Chains A and B, each alone.
Chain A
Amino acid sequence: MTEHASPIPGTTLFDGKAAQAGFELNAMCYSFNEKANRDAFLADEEAYCDSYKLTPEQRAAVKARDVLAMIAAGGNAYYLAKLAGIFGLNMQDLGAMQTGVSTDAFKAMLLSQGRGATYETAFKEMTHG
């Protein structure tokens, strides 16, 4: 059924294809469960990335802190969150980076839904002021 289902806008399913493509990127992120590895990444990002077989797309996405590009290259949210943690970014920061707005604007969009707005309405408010 799934392969025939219509796509969900703005959404990537982390399926077998993504899991294969993203294996090394996600493996690197998984390593950040250990503080020594987080410290090693911060001390020498290039060398740490070298120790995993990242594709050029994955290397560029990590370097640019481009979350959408990491997802396109097979990154999975649960593992990427550990990379974001190294930079002290929270889920609203990540949401803002992916939707191209400020963190405050992204938070306002969430709060608007809290007041009863649908996501679609809150998203329109966020992107069109």
Chain B
Amino acid sequence: MAEIVGAYFTSHVPAIGGAIHKGLQGDPYWKPFFDGFPRVHEWLGQVKPDVAIVFNNDHGLNFFLDTMPTFAVGAAAEYHNADEGWGLPLYKPFAGHPELSWHLINSLVEDEFDITTCQKMLVDHALSIPFELAWPDCEAWPVKLVPFGINTVQHPLPSAKRCLALGRAVNRALQNWQGNERIVIIGTGGLSHQLDGERAGFMNQDYDRFCLDHLASDPDALTDHSIHEIVRLAGTQGVEILNWIAARGALGDAATEIHRNYHLPISNTAAATVLLEPA
């Protein structure tokens, strides 16, 4: 029987990819962020996942405004990274797990989640950077991928409550999966940051701590805020917390925090890295 080994959360600021590329992990600016990762590497070495279900958001690589799904689920045999326009290195391909993708798709639609199914999906820095942080310099990624894309670009965005419910529906689907994989749930992005407008540079440590303090023990607390309030509290791009909330739902009901690192600023962002295990 398949086992959910835990959940890994981290920020996906593009500049992190640049720092890795330039080997700046020990630089005083970057070290406090990268110091969060030896524990992640140790944990992944212990729990040895072979499948990753990733909740992330597209930044205008795969989706444009002509067609903007609220919840997109990948069902490809292989996923590719591509040029995003600002010279990030291209990452190696990601093997998919179409059988598990279709199991999740069937189960979610039966559960009345009207998701969009994607047999082709480019994945951007929101996925490649967390992978590179987790498994640096590996020859091939050690996990097969099922990506979920949540619309954080064009309002109306799905509510935090709906994202948590989606994650919980994924968890129910996984309980009925007959495979014997070791599954890690991944949530990427955040925490507070705002890139656009006169309020560019906004971060909010109080709200970030509230999210981090409740993620394991009481994720429903994160759903009390409307999207408008989350933008106010976390910034226009801080709404990426939706990815974390969905991932937390997919982990299952009870969870224990086993690792947390929080540091700001990384570029314009308050960056966090967290590991949770099912309790």
Binding site for B on A (CB under 8 A): 1-2, 5, 8-16, 19, 22-23, 26-27, 29-30, 32-35, 38, 67-68, 71, 76-82, 84-86, 90-92, 94-95, 98-99, 106, 109-111, 113-114, 116, 118-119, 122-123
Q: Is B200 an interface residue (CB 8 A)?
A: yes
Q: A15-B155, A33-B83, A71-B196 are in contact. List 20 more A-B contacts (CB 8 A).
A: A1-B226, A2-B156, A8-B228, A10-B202, A12-B196, A13-B228, A15-B154, A19-B154, A71-B197, A76-B154, A77-B195, A78-B60, A78-B153, A80-B196, A84-B86, A85-B85, A85-B86, A98-B200, A99-B198, A119-B202
Contact across chains for B268 and A76 when beta carbons are under 8 A apart? no
**How many A-B residue contacts, CB cutoff 8 Å?**
146
- What range describes how many residues of B lie at the interface? 35 or more
Most buried by A among B82, B194, B200, B231: B200
Q: Please, could you name 27 A-B residue pairs with CB atoms under 8 Å apart, sorted by A?
A: A8-B199, A8-B231, A10-B200, A11-B196, A13-B228, A14-B236, A15-B155, A16-B154, A16-B156, A27-B64, A29-B60, A34-B83, A67-B196, A76-B154, A77-B196, A79-B60, A81-B60, A84-B86, A85-B86, A92-B267, A92-B268, A95-B268, A98-B196, A98-B197, A99-B201, A113-B205, A122-B201
**What 9 pairs across the A-B complex have the smallest Cβ distances?**
A10-B199, A85-B86, A10-B198, A82-B85, A77-B196, A110-B265, A95-B200, A15-B155, A5-B228
